């Protein structure tokens, strides 16, 4: 680049400069002329006025007064490396210069002519700034026509659709860029533009160069001067839609996982508001979907468990501690079942609780098993205490009798009496031990049944014969109602007689002296039913439900001091089941008597006298 010469006042001017000087002085346009040889410049009155007299008119001043950009461009024009140039508006004057060479007739460049442009009006500056803002905007901006043409657009819109400057020069159409299925959406938007001059944001899609669909939000407004065209903003929402799809897929996976679980799964907001339950919750409770959102879940608890569940839940919400509690939850059948409720907080990166995730596990059967085991353990302890008592009863007279034997060795009558006491009590003890061993053998499956066809009435008669001494001792009235018509059963005679004798003995023990016992036979649906009914002390409902369990006894009363060990009915059930039968108990309540029914499969043909 060649610098301007050191400024000197010109004494004479080349012909071309002299003519140029006369031209600018006569022109109303702001102009200046630069003398290449002297490095000075002269401004006309119009330019001097534009510069607010900062540069006097018709005075040659050093070219250094030119803006730095203008000086450099002028030097390049003087050395012939630049044909013409324009400068940007330079502060503080805001004047821009268009520079061109001044040449002699032989083509020699002797100076530079500058034509100044006046500062733009403030409105024009604002327009240019707005245009710059549009161009720099990350949001697509389009100037459109209602007919479908895109008059202009910014780079953000081109980039959004994979287009380039060449596409913009060739011309674009927002109609052509829109997939056909969005035509109705566009038509509705155009109708609003024609009617109201503006269109609020609508969602649609544009076609990318590579064929992809780009979801966008488009808002538009017509020009006030020409309602056939206007400006639109186009916002790419691909990332938002992708995030929504990812969230929907995540929720779908979450629902699939929770619905595949055998447990009830629920979730709450950070404040404890229940807003999600899986399918197992609704299948268990039978309530309509959404009916237990919010605080509705607490109504599902057993009334006795509601306060405790609420208190524990509030504690977890206040402290962030895990939630765990057992409560009874209303089942779809109207009853309540025990469940284990658990919940853990879900925390974000800052440790703040965003949600709670919880489960309900049906533990009803486990809870009942625990209660049954606890009750069985209690009954076992009671049985052992009772067994000890029952065994001590015969041992005491045996021990006393044994101690008297040395003193009565010379008295045969006393020796004989003592022997009868020992024999009687040892027989009683042997019976107790045999009962225990019998239950053990039946329970462990160590007995073999010797089965044959037997007349049901014969079984009844033999059982009565065994129980008669106890029945007569307590003055009970025994009656038989035989409606079986000679029916027979297939089984082990000894064991079936044992079953019926046990039932009769049991009825006798639990019926006060002078009571009534009825033994009935009937044939029902291929079974022979044998019923033992009494008007004794009866049973409470809870005892009826468990009377056939091992070590289960009714209440001992003073007149029933010689009761058994609570194993008789358990043995009855085991033996009846081994014969393919069933057994059941009933009672109208305490003091209202009891009824035990044994049903055994009937033989196809009546038993013959020989078989009996």
Candidates 3, 9, 14; CA nearest to 79 is: 3
Lowest mean pLDDT: which of 342-351, 418-427, 504-513?
418-427
Q: Does position 473 have pLDDT exceeding 50, yes or no?
A: yes
Averaged pLDDT for residues 343-352: 93
Intra-chain end-to-end CA distance of the chain, in Å: 141
Segments in 36-121 forming alpha helices (H): 45-50, 68-78
Domain positions in the chain are 15-119, 123-236, 243-362, 368-443, 451-601
Q: Does position 110 have pLDDT exceeding 70, yes or no?
A: yes
Averaged pLDDT for residues 377-401: 67
Q: Does position 526 have pLDDT exceeding 60, yes or no?
A: yes
Q: Does position 409 have pLDDT exceeding 80, yes or no?
A: no
At 493, is the pLDDT very low, low, confident or very high (cuts 50, 70, 90)? confident
The answer to whether residues 597 and 544 touch, using CB atoms and an 8 Å cutoff, is: no
Order of strands across the sheet with 229-236?
172-173, 149-153, 140-145, 229-236, 213-222, 198-207
At 559, is the pLDDT very low, low, confident or very high (cuts 50, 70, 90)? very low
- 51 vs 118, more confident: 51
At 492, is the pLDDT very low, low, confident or very high (cuts 50, 70, 90)? confident
The CATH architecture to which 15-119 belongs is: 2-Layer Sandwich (3.30)
Which superfamily does CATH assign the domain made up of 243-362 to?
A: PAS domain (3.30.450.20)
Percent of residues, the chain, with pLDDT higher than 70: 85
CA distance 291 to 281: 11
Return the pLDDT at 238.
93
Return the pLDDT at 568.
73
Residue tagged 């009155």 (tokens): 45
At 6, is the pLDDT very low, low, confident or very high (cuts 50, 70, 90)? low
Return the pLDDT at 404.
78
The answer to whether residues 503 and 599 touch, using CB atoms and an 8 Å cutoff, is: no
The CATH architecture to which 451-601 belongs is: 2-Layer Sandwich (3.30)
The answer to whether residues 190 and 204 touch, using CB atoms and an 8 Å cutoff, is: no
CA distance 308 to 297: 14
Q: Which tens digits make up the pLDDT trace of 568-611?
A: 787 788 888 888 999 999 998 888 999 999 999 998 755 444 44
CA distance 562 to 555: 12
Q: Does position 174 have pLDDT exceeding 90, yes or no?
A: yes
Q: Is the pTM above the cut of 0.75?
A: no
Averaged pLDDT for residues 459-474: 88
Averaged pLDDT for residues 85-106: 81
Return the pLDDT at 560.
40
Mean pLDDT of the chain: 84
Return the pLDDT at 189.
93
Percent of residues, the chain, with pLDDT higher than 90: 41
The answer to whether residues 383 and 350 touch, using CB atoms and an 8 Å cutoff, is: no
Averaged pLDDT for residues 195-205: 93
Q: Does position 433 have pLDDT exceeding 50, yes or no?
A: yes
Q: Which of 47-51, 307-311, 446-450, 603-607 has the highest mean pLDDT?
A: 307-311
The CATH architecture to which 368-443 belongs is: Orthogonal Bundle (1.10)
Q: Which tens digits make up the pLDDT trace of 293-342?
A: 888 888 899 999 999 999 999 999 999 999 999 999 999 999 999 999 99
Return the pLDDT at 609.
46
Candidates 293, 268, 440, 429; CA nearest to 356 is: 268
User: The tokens of 455 are what?
Assistant: 């007349």
Q: Does position 445 have pLDDT exceeding 70, yes or no?
A: no
Half-sphere exposure of 333 (CA within 13 A, CB side): 3
Q: Does position 280 have pLDDT exceeding 70, yes or no?
A: yes
- Same CATH topology for 123-236 and 368-443: the answer is no
At 563, is the pLDDT very low, low, confident or very high (cuts 50, 70, 90)? very low
Q: Does position 79 have pLDDT exceeding 50, yes or no?
A: yes
The CATH number for 123-236, chosen from 3.20.20.60, 3.40.1350.10, 3.30.450.20, 3.40.190.10, is: 3.30.450.20
Averaged pLDDT for residues 86-90: 75
Candidates 612, 456, 606, 605; CA nearest to 522 is: 456
Averaged pLDDT for residues 263-269: 93
- 546 vs 82, more confident: 82
């Amino acid at each position: 680049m060649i610098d301007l010469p050191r400024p000197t006042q010109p004494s004479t001017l080349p012909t071309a400069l002299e003519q140029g000087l006369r031209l600018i002085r006569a022109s109303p346009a702001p102009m200046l002329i630069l003398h290449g040889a002297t490095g000075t410049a002269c401004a006309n009155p119009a330019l001097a006025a534009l510069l607010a007299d900062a540069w006097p008119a018709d005075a040659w001043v050093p070219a250094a007064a030119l803006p730095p950009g203008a000086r450099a461009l002028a030097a390049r024009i003087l050395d012939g490396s630049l044909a013409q140039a324009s400068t940007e508006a330079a502060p503080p004057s805001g004047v821009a210069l268009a520079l061109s060479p001044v040449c002699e007739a032989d083509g020699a460049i002797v100076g530079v002519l500058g034509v100044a442009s006046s500062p733009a009006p403030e409105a024009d500056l604002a327009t240019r700034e707005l245009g710059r803002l549009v161009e720099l905007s990350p949001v697509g901006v389009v100037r459109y026509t209602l007919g479908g043409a895109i008059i202009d657009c910014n780079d953000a819109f081109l980039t959004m659709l994979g287009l380039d400057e060449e596409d913009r020069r060739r011309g674009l159409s927002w109609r052509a860029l829109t997939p056909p299925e969005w035509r109705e959406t566009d038509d509705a938007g155009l109708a609003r533009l024609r009617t109201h001059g503006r269109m609020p944001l609508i969602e649609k899609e544009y076609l990318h160069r590579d064929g992809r669909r780009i979801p966008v939000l488009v808002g538009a407004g017509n020009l006030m001067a020409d309602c056939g065209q206007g400006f639109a903003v186009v916002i790419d929402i691909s990332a938002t839609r992708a995030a929504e799809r990812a969230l929907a897929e995540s929720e779908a996976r979450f629902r699939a996982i929770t619905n595949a679980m055998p447990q009830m799964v629920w979730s709450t907001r950070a404040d404890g508001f229940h807003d999600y339950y899986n399918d197992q919750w609704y299948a268990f409770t039978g309530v309509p979907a959404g009916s237990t959102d919010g605080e509705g879940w607490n109504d599902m608890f057993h009334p006795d468990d509601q306060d405790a569940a609420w208190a524990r839940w509030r504690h977890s919400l206040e402290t962030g501690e895990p939630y765990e509690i057992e409560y009874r939850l209303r089942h779809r059948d109207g009853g309540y079942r025990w469940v284990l409720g658990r919940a853990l907080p879900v925390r974000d990166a800052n440790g703040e609780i965003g949600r709670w995730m919880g489960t309900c596990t049906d533990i009803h059967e486990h809870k009942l098993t625990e209660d049954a085991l606890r009750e069985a353990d209690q009954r076992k302890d009671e049985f052992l205490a009772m067994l000890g008592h029952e065994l001590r009863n015969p041992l005491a007279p045996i021990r006393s009798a044994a101690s008297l034997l040395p003193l009565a060795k010379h008295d045969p009558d006393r020796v004989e009496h003592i022997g009868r006491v020992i024999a009687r009590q040892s027989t009683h003890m042997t019976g107790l031990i045999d009962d225990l061993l019998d239950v053990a053998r039946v329970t462990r499956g160590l007995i073999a049944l010797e089965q044959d066809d037997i007349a049901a009435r014969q079984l009844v008669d033999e059982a009565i014969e065994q129980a008669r001494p106890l029945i007569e001792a307590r003055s009970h009235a025994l009656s038989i109602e035989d409606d079986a018509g000679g029916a027979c059963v297939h089984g082990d005679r000894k064991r079936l007689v044992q079953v019926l004798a046990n039932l009769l003995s049991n009825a006798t023990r639990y019926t006060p002296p002078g009571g009534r016992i009825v033994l009935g036979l009937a044939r029902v649906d291929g079974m022979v039913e044998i019923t033992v009914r009494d008007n004794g002390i009866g049973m409470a409902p809870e005892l009826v439900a468990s009377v056939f369990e091992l070590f289960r006894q009714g209440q001992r009363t003073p007149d029933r001091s010689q009761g058994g060990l609570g194993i008789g009915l358990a043995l009855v059930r085991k033996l009846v089941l081994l014969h393919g039968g069933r057994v059941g108990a009933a009672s109208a309540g305490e003091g209202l008597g009891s009824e035990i029914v044994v049903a055994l499969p009937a033989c196809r043909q009546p038993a013959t006298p020989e078989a009996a």
